[in-house]
Amino acid sequence: MFNILFLFVIIPVLTLGALFLTRNVKQVRAVAATGASLLLIAALYLCHEYLGARAVAPEGTLMLLTDSYMWYEPLNIHLAVGVDGISVLMILLSAIIVFTGTFASWKMEPLTKEYFLWFTLLSIGVFGFFISIDLFTMFMFYEVALIPMYLLIGVWGSGNKNYSAMKLTLMLMGGSAFLLISILGIYYHSGETMNLIEIARNGVALEWQNALFVCAFVGFGVLGAMFPFHTWSPDGHASAPTAVSMLHAGVLMKLGGYGCFRIAIFLMPHAAHQLGWIFMILTGISVVYGAFAACVKTDLKYINAYSSVSHCGLVLFAILMMNQTAMSGAVMQMLSHGLMTALFFALIGMIYGRTHTRDVREMGGLMQIMPFLSVGYIIAGLASLGLPGLSGFVAEMTIFLGSFENTTVYNAVLGDGNLFRHAFAIVTTTSIVITAVYILRVVGKLLFGPVQNEHHRQLDDAHWYERFSTVSLMLAIAVLGCFPDLANLVLRDSFGPIVEHIMTFAQ
Amino acid sequence: MNVVGNSIVYCVIALAIIVFSVLSVTSGKILRAATYLLFTLFSTAALYFHLGYEFLGAVQIAVYAGGILVLFVFSILLTSKPGNNAERLTSKRKTLGLIAAVAGAAVCTYALFSYFSSEVVTLFSTANTVTVEKIGEALLGTEKFQYLLPFEAISVLLLACIIGGVTIARKR
Amino acid sequence: MDLTLLYYLVPSIIMFACGVYGFITRKNLIAILISLELMLNSIDINFVVFNRFLFPGQMEGMFFALFAIAIAAAETALAIAIVINIFRVAKSVDVQNLTKMKF
Amino acid sequence: MDLSLSIITIFLPLLTFFVLGLLGMKMPKKTAGLIGTASMLVTTIVAYGVALNYFFNPDFMVGGVREAQLVFNETWLTMGENLKVSMGILVDPISAMMLIVISTISLMVHLYSLGYMHGEKGFQRYYAFLSLFTFSMLGLVVATNIFQMFIFFEMVGVSSYLLIGFYYQKHSAIAASKKAFIVTRFADLGFLIGIMLLAYYCDTFDFQTLMSNPGAIVGSSAGVTFLGCSAASWAMALIFIGGAGKSAMFPLHIWLPDAMEGPTPVSALIHAATMVVAGVFLVARMFPVYLATPEVLELITATGAVTALYAAIVACVQTDIKRVLAFSTISQIAFMFTALGVARPELHEGVGYMASMFHLFTHAMFKGLLFLCAGAIIHMVHSNEMDQMGNLRKYMPITHITFLIACLAIAGIPPFAGFFSKDEILVAAYENSTLWGVWMSVVAGLTAFYMFRLYYRIFWWSKPDYSHHTPHDCEWVMTLPLILLAVVSCLAGFIPFGHFVTWNGENYDIHLNWTVAGTSIAIALVGILVATVLYRKENSVPDRMADSVKGLYKAAYRRFYMDELYQFVTHKIIFGIICKSIAWFDHVIVDGTMNMLAHMTNNASYAIRKLQSGSIQFYVWVYFIGALLLGVVTFMLLI
Amino acid sequence: MDYSQFLFMHHEIGVLIVFLLVFLFDTFLPARYQSKLAVTSCVLFGIYTVLSFFTPLDNAEAFSGMFVTSPIVASIKNILNVGMFIVLLQSIQWNNSDHEVIRRGEFIELMLVTLFGMYLMVSARHFLLFVIGLETASLPLAALVAFEKKQYESHEAAVKYLFTAVFSSAIYMLGLSFVYGFAGSLYFNDIAVACGLAEGSMLLYVALAFVVAGIGFKISLVPFHLWTADVYQGAPTSVTSYLSVVSKGAAAFAAFIVLTQAFGTVYSAVWEWMLYALIILTITIGNLFAIRQTNMKRFLAFSSISQAGYIMLGVIAFNATGIAALSYYVLIYVVSNLTAFGVIQAIENATDKVDMTDYNGLYKTNPKLAFAMMLAMFSLGGIPPFAGFFSKFFIFSSALAEGSVAMYVLVLIALINTIVSLYYYLLVVKAMFINPNDNPIPTFRSHWTERAGLVICVAGVLLIGLVSCIYTFLNQAASVSQLF
């Protein structure tokens, strides 16, 4: 039977092919929009399929809808796919962002066709990463997703784009260097297999776990913008074109969190217990540090980039807690941050497209000029600072409560580690206040107050495609915020076996 | 075999090799260097004879002294300009050269001497019977220690070098 | 005087060192070529000496020397062709002029 | 009316919010206002129905105790194995009482705003936000668990933010809304950490579970101490901080005076009657648990007492009438906190709890009334400053009468509502300790003084120049709420509150303790007398008095420099030092390291370029030495 | 005396037949057919390449172990054939240009002879044969480097190449003489046995260092690489591409054969650490130099130096996976690098421009060339889904198979260097796609042969990685070959 998961690679590949054949901008847009819509439909259908499969699967099954084809026999590499609740949600998130991103870049010029080509390649990488359960293919798709960024930023970006694009690419590649080492190490020390499930079953040799864990966590941590490896993110986001910022902050940074979880912690629980505290410190710093740094920035994109550092730090922080609550909080935070940052960047891009500046000091009173965009911005801001009813709140609260939950950590240094984790949980919670500070500061300066620049009065409000794109995101944010147990419905049975595995293999 | 005689012969040959080698790389005039090279090659041939490899010695003289040296002389004549063509060496370059040469010699000497210091075999304790007949058989045989394949292969090399040389040297 | 192996290796090593020295110091391309010949020649001596003293049962070393002479000849021929060529183009055989491409 | 109908009271405002928020701009202003008011009317009727049903249906009395009723409780978010966040409706005495308070005031404000906000830009938005606020506030009071409460705590915070910043083109309004949000957010941080601690030790959020065994939290966290207090105490203290922030307790009160930048009806609704008492409500809700941690109750008492005095003193010297009312609000809420703090079951059957709730109820009415009156005045005078007013009793008789009633009520003059509730508070305070009793009595006297100062300055004093625009009473939509609330303020004191709301649900009969009551009436009368002497007619005595204690006056006028202190901490320390230095660190160290790596690579590339010198001889030299080194070094390293 | 042993040498005989046919065509056919010479020989070689895929793959030994063929050896020869074919295809246009037409025949003949030499290198199991192969592979190349008669650089490059090559072979043969000194034989098997006995003596180290240096010269390992950049820059582009892919690939493979077959017994004692140091140096210094280059050919020279370092990871792996990964790497390196050189050559033939700044804005005028170049750069940089990623992954995995910490460190260093390498590859991409240019290379249509070559290469870059059977086949071939 045909596995639905392959659709997520096949559809973008076909889109890529179709884009090659297009002759004019109209066709390009039509093809891109069709592809993105198909992906979204497929993602929604996948949720349904997944729930159906989960209902009949025996309890404790790690992955569903699995399928495996031998690819590279000598290294035991398979084209293995499979999903659990986490990846289903990530796929859904990616589909939404790709969909909205396509509309957000509707008027992208010049070289529209090339733009969408790279954009689609990026989405291949993202989807491929989330459906894979084979380390090699995961890594491959991960890198596929990285490199189009260079051109997307370099060609279509703005500002100091060459520097940013290069910095971003090189730093992420640096991360993936560590990752590759770790993947190969895991391969050789877990019975020469690349399959996640088999590795989990075999376990990674204990004496190697610590080193490999650090490599894997740092590798994905770079993408997850973990302090002190986050510095690519502000510059990169600031220079990237709208949809790329959306996709990058919305989805690519999630690859980091997902990877940390799926590879570093899940496969090497022993090391995660032993060394988790180091990264807890780093991610804890990220959370607060990013928020503080965002307070003094004046470029809208920089503010959001630092805010992303803070929020993504929270994701990494949560998965280090190694209990079900915090981890599902992490997944929700990924979803929430993905949607909300995408919305932010979409709106910033639209505002920038009109005012040609991103400096908050040069703008003001936009509420009177472009009410739609402004309201959107406020909603994104409120989601970011954790207004209940929007996605951010649910995610952050789950994380905070999860990090307070009683979890046994096997660690020689810290004992059961609860006090340590609680202390850091409290530190990270302060971010909700700092977030409020910088969000309200921007909202106040940018949207409220008198109109700063009289030339801005002639600007128009959002066009239909912009409205479409932002409204979709807002809806998604609100749905997740109001009905968080929908996400839990998908996640529910996935964490059980994972946490159990982490705890069993911890000693 | 006369041990003393052989020793004397050895000494003469060794001295000649050393002296002419040094001279050929130090003499300022290029033509003289070539000449010293000729003497070195002759000394080498003499060494081969001394060791009992008459065929090799003959080839050495025929190919090197007869062929290559002539080429050298021709090319020197072709390329040298009239007037003072003695070259002067800068001291920096000399230092570099000396460092390399001395270091190389030291390393090789140490390596060889440390490895072969216990070797007591002398020229006289071993017999050497290299006949042209055996050489011919080895050159066209396919057994172990026979060299048909290299012999064929080097013919291709020589052909290639001829083609290459001709093409390069051609005026156009 | 026991003429052991090492006695015969000494001149060869010196010859090689001379070759290296000459290669590095000489300016004239042909002089460099001469140095190269010295080096190749010393290797031949090595082979022959080893063969004669240590492994007289076969003729491996001698044959290597034999083929090496042929190779050296081919090399020299080609090298001289190229030297003449460069002389035509650059009107000089000074190696110090051959540094147009660097860094 | 069936209790399950209470869901209408929650969701009708939400629906209204969506309708007005999404479609408001498409409809005429009048329609939007009417939709909002009508929906609020329905909400109010249902809320009354539910509350009255709850209070008067004997089914809910089991063994003399009025039992809390869990109307809905649906899982909203699963946190852990046992930890679930539910959304539901819990009807118990205080929430039923709050339903009445909120819906009443909200309806009045809705009605009032039809007139007050007439012609404002963003009228529809205003009503949408009002509905949102009402929804959040109602959701807060009916919360079944502490997390739901937290959620709605945040929601009311945001609605308040949006409403304070309603005039978004005014810088002061933006700043005030921002300040309000951030300060309360900061307090909520405490609340959140408290919740986390609580959840950690009790593994539940549910009020009923917590309440049924309040000792559990103390027991489970026994032995875990931090700075000398048990984890349970810390949790409860942190939760109190959340409430204190929302209720503007010292030192987190600074946002409330600024919040007066919002439209006055909003101040009446949010910053006088409902949202600011959320903190009191929170403590009352958790009261049985607080009883298990008496040291936190001490903290609450102290905070309340200090705040009450502080706010009263400051209120005496403010000139902006809304500011006076704001500080008065702070002071009155502090009364409520004090009452809660001094309440003990063994002391007079826990009268403090009942008194606090009673005062909450009456205060909502008369303070709402005061603000609405102030709104009417400002509407006419177009200024908040006392100096622009005076002698208004001639022009605005209805406003005058209602304002006077409210003043009498707040001053604690029988038979107005405030007297009864305040008296109970004083009784509770004296029961606990004489110190608090005397303290609170003094504050009560100050209250009477500053309220009447306000009253006289507005309605008597001098007669400024009204030539260009003669003030008059407002249209009926604005005066009707005034009258209604005035009536309530007159009569509410006679409600047998103890029959409805007590800390344990048992009936309690209010007996006036005439010793305390007499004293408090006397003190109030003294305060009123002083105010009458000083402010009835324009004179220079107040100024001279102010001059005689210039330093104190200035300090009180500047609110004892609390704002400046906050300004210093936030701008100079947090922004100026922490944020700037982090930004510097990020730019110079983190970024710099990466750039330096790149530069080092580049420099290295430049530095070694001589290796490729172009000279054959150098090449072979390197080659030869390299080969030798390769051999020698490996030999040395490996042998 | 069994002369039928020559029949084991399928590839050698095949290439010599092609050589002879070309030689005969060049020498004896009348002038009017001569314009078809380049195409004809390319077709001939193509036929031979295809046919050679069908030669039986088995382990065979000829001349008493002097010559060995095995599945993996045959495979690497096939890979070299593919590279050679593409080079020939790409060189047709240049070859037919006015000033080169006179040396057209010689060009092809010399190329074929060097290929023959490389075959000998990979098949030889006797150092005499190996040396002859080495010289056959390098001496005619010196002549080829000097083929661009009009340009001074070409001659300078030839001098540099020849002189350093001869010096290197002198060092190499000195090393061999030492080896002979302690082993008494030049057969790899005998040496392998004798090495064990000589372990611990300095002679062994020095000899091996010299041998490694000699082969390292061909692969251009640092510090034996200094000729590379100058020669690549000066040589005709066809020759440069040939040097950079086919010659280097063959040498790398030969290095593996020599080091494992002859010196395998002293792997961990001696040459593992030599290579360890050399690989780090090679990758790092190659990268550092490449950063600053502006001449495309010179740039690719340094890039190829660092690539050589990666290739050597397959050697240091010292197992059957290593050789498979190495051959696979070479194959992918061939197509990737030849894509790059194909573009350079097309542009050079059309406009005479080889500077990176000339490439600014190339995408605007020649999108297809720019696209091909970009693919090549990504593939060289190891970006999936292009082939280079797979080869890098496999070579790293083969290096780590042994599992020592030192290897992990080595691979990590190599990986960190990929970041630097990605930087300069991206510089090219940046030049073509991002940098503005007022005076870009005008739009032109390249010759069909160049296009055909590019199509083959681009197809290779896109497909070789994704089609797993190639690597699987190589791995299979390596495991059934009698290497260890």
Q: How high is the mean pLDDT of chain E?
A: 91
pLDDT at position A414 is 63
β-bridge partners, D70:
D90
Whole-angstrom distance, CA of residue A373 vs CA of residue A368: 10
Q: Residue C51 in contact with residue B134, Cβ under 8 Å? A: no
Q: How far is E386 from chain A (nearest CA, A)?
A: 9
How many residues belong to chain C? 103
Q: Could you read off the pLDDT of D346-356 as tens digits, one per residue?
A: 777 777 888 88
β-bridge partners, D69:
D91
Question: Is D584 touching E (CB cutoff 8 A)?
Answer: no
Closest CA to E76 of E61, E48, E57: E57
Q: Any idea what DSSP says for residue D614? A: S
For residue A412, what pLDDT band results from cuts at 50, 70 and 90? low
For residue D122, what pLDDT band results from cuts at 50, 70 and 90? confident
Across D13-27, D43-57, D406-420, D499-513, least confident range: D499-513
pLDDT at position D586 is 87
Q: Any idea what DSSP says for residue D121? A: T
> Residue B136's CB: how many other CB atoms inside 10 A?
11
Q: Residue E378 in contact with residue E292, Cβ under 8 Å? A: no
Q: B107 and D617: CB-CB below 8 Å? A: no
E423: its two tokens: 């930087």
Q: E181 and C68: CB-CB below 8 Å? A: no
Q: What is the 3-state secondary structure (H, E, C) of A165-195?
A: HHHHHHHHHHHHHHHHHHHHHHHHCCCCCCE
Q: How far is E185 from chain C (nearest CA, A)?
A: 7
Say if A and C touch: at least 3 Cβ pairs within 8 Å.
no
Closest CA to E162 of B76, B161, C27, B172: B161
B161: its two tokens: 């070098």
Q: D599 contacts in E (CB within 8 Å)?
A: none
Q: Pick from A72, A121, A132 the residue to mutate for testing the E interface (most E CBs within 10 Å).
A: A72
Whole-angstrom distance, CA of residue B143 vs CA of residue B133: 16
Question: Is D621 touching B (CB cutoff 8 A)?
Answer: yes
Query: D562-565: long-range contacts at Cβ-Cβ below 8 A with a sequence spacing of 24 or more?
Result: D562/D250, D562/D251, D562/D253, D562/D254, D563/D254
pLDDT at position D253 is 84
Whole-angstrom distance, CA of residue E233 vs CA of residue A503: 60
Residue E306 vs residue D440, higher pLDDT: E306
For residue D427, what pLDDT band results from cuts at 50, 70 and 90? confident
Question: Is D631 touching B (CB cutoff 8 A)?
Answer: yes
Q: A367 contacts in D (CB within 8 Å)?
A: 168
Q: Does residue E92 register a pLDDT over 80?
A: yes
Q: Could you read off the pLDDT of A296-337 as tens digits, one per residue?
A: 888 888 888 899 889 999 999 988 888 888 888 899 999 999
Q: Does residue A361 register a pLDDT over 90?
A: no
Question: Is D605 touching E (CB cutoff 8 A)?
Answer: yes
Q: Residue D99 in contact with residue D6, Cβ under 8 Å? A: yes
Q: Any idea what DSSP says for residue A431? A: H
For residue D319, what pLDDT band results from cuts at 50, 70 and 90? confident
Q: Pick from D621, D622, D630, D639 the residue to mutate for testing the B interface (most B CBs within 10 Å).
A: D621
Across B133-137, D120-124, D185-189, D614-618, least confident range: D120-124
Q: C59 contacts in B (CB within 8 Å)?
A: 130, 134-135, 138, 145
Q: Could you read off the pLDDT of D58-68 as tens digits, one per residue?
A: 787 777 777 77
E400: its two tokens: 């780590």
Residues in A 302-341 with any Cβ partner in D closer than 8 A: 323-325
Q: D79 contacts in A (CB within 8 Å)?
A: 325, 398, 401-402
For residue A417, what pLDDT band results from cuts at 50, 70 and 90? low
Burial class (CB in 10 A: 0-12, 13-18, 19+), E466: middle
DSSP letter string, A38-78:
HHHHHHHHHHHHHHHHHHHSPTT---EEEEEEEEEGGGTEE
Give the helix/strand (H/E) hosting D365.
helix D351-381
pLDDT at position D224 is 66
> Which residue among C20, C32, C100 sits closest to D614, beta carbon to beta carbon?
C100
What is the pTM for the complete model shown? 0.91
Whole-angstrom distance, CA of residue A381 vs CA of residue D201: 33
C–D: how many Cβ contacts below 8 A? 30
Q: B168 and E206: CB-CB below 8 Å? A: no
Is the peptide bond between D58 and the residue preceding it cis, with omega within 30 degrees of 0? Answer: no
For residue E313, what pLDDT band results from cuts at 50, 70 and 90? very high
Q: A231 and D594: CB-CB below 8 Å? A: yes
E395: its two tokens: 């070579």
> Which residue among C43, C74, C101 sits closest to E234, beta carbon to beta carbon?
C101
Q: Residue A382 in contact with residue D154, Cβ under 8 Å? A: no
Whole-angstrom distance, CA of residue A479 vs CA of residue E123: 68
Q: Pick from E410, E425, E434, E476 the residue to mutate for testing the A interface (most A CBs within 10 Å).
A: E434
Phi, psi values for residue D61, rounded to 5°: -95, 115
Q: A400 and D196: CB-CB below 8 Å? A: yes
Q: B97 contacts in D (CB within 8 Å)?
A: 621
pLDDT at position E312 is 93
Q: E270 and D614: CB-CB below 8 Å? A: no
Q: Does residue B84 register a pLDDT over 60?
A: no
A294-to-A280, A311, D158 alpha-carbon distances in Å: 21, 12, 21
Phi, psi values for residue A66, rounded to 5°: -75, 155
Question: Is E408 touching D (CB cutoff 8 A)?
Answer: no
Residue B128 vs residue A494, higher pLDDT: A494
Q: D75 contacts in A (CB within 8 Å)?
A: 485
Q: What is the mean pLDDT of residues B129-139?
A: 86
Closest CA to E412 of E313, E483, E343, E320: E313
Q: What is the mean pLDDT of residues A195-208?
A: 88
Across A59-68, A121-130, D221-230, E466-475, least confident range: D221-230
Question: What is residue E124's three-state secondary structure?
Answer: strand
- Structural domains in chain C? 9-90 (1.10.287.3510)
Q: A174 contacts in E (CB within 8 Å)?
A: 416, 419
Q: Could you read off the pLDDT of A138-189 as tens digits, one per residue?
A: 999 998 888 888 888 988 888 888 899 999 999 998 999 999 999 999 999 8
Question: What is residue A83's three-state secondary structure?
Answer: strand
- Structural domains in chain B? 1-90 (1.20.120.1200)
Closest CA to A442 of A353, A380, A494, A393: A380
E131-to-A351, D620, E139 alpha-carbon distances in Å: 70, 20, 12
CA-nearest residue to B62 within chain C is C69
Q: Residue D304 in contact with residue D283, Cβ under 8 Å? A: no
pLDDT at position B87 is 62
Q: D193 and A429: CB-CB below 8 Å? A: yes
Q: Could you read off the pLDDT of A86-97 as tens digits, one per residue?
A: 899 999 999 999
CA-nearest residue to D570 within chain A is A437
E77: its two tokens: 């020869």
Is the peptide bond between D415 and the residue preceding it cis, with omega within 30 degrees of 0? Answer: yes
Question: What is residue D85's three-state secondary structure?
Answer: strand
Q: What is the mean pLDDT of residues C51-70?
A: 90
Q: Residue A123 in contact with residue A247, Cβ under 8 Å? A: yes
Residues in D 406-435 with any Cβ partner in A closer than 8 A: none
Burial class (CB in 10 A: 0-12, 13-18, 19+), D182: buried
Q: E157 contacts in C (CB within 8 Å)?
A: 101
For residue E484, what pLDDT band results from cuts at 50, 70 and 90? low
Q: Does residue A1 register a pLDDT over 70?
A: no
Q: Residue D46 in contact with residue D1, Cβ under 8 Å? A: yes
Q: Could you read off the pLDDT of E396-447 as tens digits, one per residue?
A: 999 998 888 899 999 999 999 999 999 999 999 999 988 888 888 888 888 8
Q: B96 contacts in C (CB within 8 Å)?
A: 24-25
Residues in D 170-209 with any Cβ partner in C closer than 8 A: none
pLDDT at position B80 is 79
Q: Residue E324 in contact with residue E478, Cβ under 8 Å? A: yes
Question: Is D167 touching A (CB cutoff 8 A)?
Answer: no
pLDDT at position C95 is 85
Q: B93 and D617: CB-CB below 8 Å? A: yes
B–E: how many Cβ contacts below 8 A? 107
> Which residue among A167, A382, A422 sits closest to D158, beta carbon to beta carbon?
A382
Q: E278 contacts in D (CB within 8 Å)?
A: 630
CB proximity list for A1: less than 8 A, separation 6 or greater: none
Q: Residue C73 in contact with residue B63, Cβ under 8 Å? A: yes
Question: Is C98 touching D (CB cutoff 8 A)?
Answer: yes
Question: Is E387 touching A (CB cutoff 8 A)?
Answer: no
Say if B and A touch: at least 3 Cβ pairs within 8 Å.
no
pLDDT at position A416 is 64
CB proximity list for E276: less than 8 A, separation 6 or greater: E316, E406, E410
Q: D619 and E273: CB-CB below 8 Å? A: no
pLDDT at position D556 is 75
Whole-angstrom distance, CA of residue B110 vs CA of residue B91: 27
CB proximity list for D30: less than 8 A, separation 6 or greater: none
Ordered by start, the domain boundaries in chain E are 3-479
Q: Does residue A85 register a pLDDT over 80?
A: yes
Question: What is residue E168's three-state secondary structure?
Answer: helix
Q: A143 and E434: CB-CB below 8 Å? A: no
Q: Could you read off the pLDDT of D289-301 as tens digits, one per residue?
A: 888 888 888 888 8
Question: What is residue C103's three-state secondary structure?
Answer: coil
Q: Is the ipTM of this complex over 0.85?
A: yes
Q: D612 and C103: CB-CB below 8 Å? A: yes
pLDDT at position D498 is 74
Q: How far is B10 from chain D (nearest CA, A)?
A: 30
Question: Is D624 touching B (CB cutoff 8 A)?
Answer: yes
Q: D614 and C102: CB-CB below 8 Å? A: yes
Q: Could you read off the pLDDT of D183-242 as tens digits, one per residue?
A: 888 888 888 888 888 888 777 888 888 777 777 667 666 666 666 677 788 888 888 888
Q: Could you read off the pLDDT of A216-257 as tens digits, one per residue?
A: 999 999 988 888 888 888 888 888 888 888 888 888 888 888
Q: Does residue D467 register a pLDDT over 70?
A: no
